[in-house]
């Protein structure tokens, strides 16, 4: 099913504040998604074939804290996309780098960057999808929101800020990189300089929330809705 970009800064800020209060882990995921434009398979949950490959090699079958810490220490993203098997490289925005380093400060390299609530396992794409959908509904976003909305939101705001579709094509790697770069004459330095200063939404500390009571009330409302839905299902059975 097609999902939408979030095109209003006000909606992004409302969603971010809700996530920061109700689930800080999901807030971090969202900030990565809308500020780097990566697919979730490249930073949230490895595809099944890669997880199997990692297990056979005796390695962790999830993205670890160490994976992100190394990325932040380098200062740029450099990876092979799981879907396209193409390489991407660009600078990490300074605000995002600072946020990630603070989030990882008390974590060990081997643990999941985004742990599930269940037995120390890593969060799944489906788990985050459900949380994101609920959060978007709670703050009144009526568009169809899913994991890919983060990547589309990044693209929308990057283009709105720089009006350079050539750079966006290079970042998204939507076609053969050599052919695309040769045809459009894109410059790696331009991408790096723009990405350093790029920012979507606000960057605040975990406890810096002005409307705490309002957000907690929204969370209680969502919990109550889930309970009511469960009761209805049980009644039908």
pLDDT on residue 188? 65
Q: Any idea which of 14-23, 84-93, 125-134 has the lowest mean pLDDT?
A: 84-93
Note whether residue 26 is domain-resident: yes
Over residues 119-125, the mean pLDDT reads 86
The CATH number of residue 50's host domain is: 1.10.443.10
Q: Is residue 192 part of a domain?
A: yes
Residue 61: what are its φ and ψ, rounded to 5°?
-100, 35
Note whether residue 145 is domain-resident: yes
Residue 180 has pLDDT above 60, yes or no: no
Predicted pLDDT of residue 189? 63
Q: What is the pTM of this model?
A: 0.80
Q: Give residue 214's pLDDT.
A: 93
**Is 141 inside a domain boundary?**
yes
Question: pLDDT category, 187, cuts 50, 70, 90?
Answer: low
**Is 179 a residue whose pLDDT tops 70?**
no
Higher-confidence residue: 1 or 213? 213
What domain range includes position 97? 9-202
Residue 137 lies inside a defined structural domain of this protein? yes
Is residue 4 one of the residues assigned to a domain?
Answer: no
The count of structural domains within the chain is: 1
Does any domain span residue 220?
no
């Amino acid at each position: 099913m097609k999902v939408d970009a979030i095109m209003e800064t006000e909606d992004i800020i409302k969603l971010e504040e809700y996530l920061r209060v109700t689930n800080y882990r999901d807030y971090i995921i969202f900030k990565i998604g809308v500020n780097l434009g990566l697919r979730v398979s490249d930073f949230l949950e490895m595809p099944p074939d890669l997880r199997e490959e990692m297990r056979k090699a005796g390695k962790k079958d999830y993205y670890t804290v160490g994976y992100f810490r190394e990325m932040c220490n380098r200062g740029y993203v450099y990876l092979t996309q799981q879907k396209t098997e193409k390489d991407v490289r660009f600078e990490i925005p300074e605000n995002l780098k600072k946020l990630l380093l603070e989030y990882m400060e008390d974590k060990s390299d081997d643990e999941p960057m985004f742990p599930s609530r269940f037995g120390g396992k890593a969060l799944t794409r489906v788990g985050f999808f459900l949380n994101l959908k609920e959060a978007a509904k709670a703050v009144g976003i009526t568009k169809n929101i899913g994991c890919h909305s983060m990547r589309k939101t990044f693209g929308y705001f990057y283009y709105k800020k720089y009006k350079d579709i050539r750079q966006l094509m290079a970042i998204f790697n939507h076609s053969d990189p050599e052919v695309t770069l040769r045809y459009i004459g894109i410059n790696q330095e331009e991408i790096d300089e723009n990405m350093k200063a790029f920012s979507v939404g606000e960057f605040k500390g975990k406890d810096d929330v002005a409307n705490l009571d309002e957000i907690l009330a929204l969370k209680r409302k969502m919990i109550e809705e889930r309970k009511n839905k469960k009761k209805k299902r049980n009644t039908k059975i």
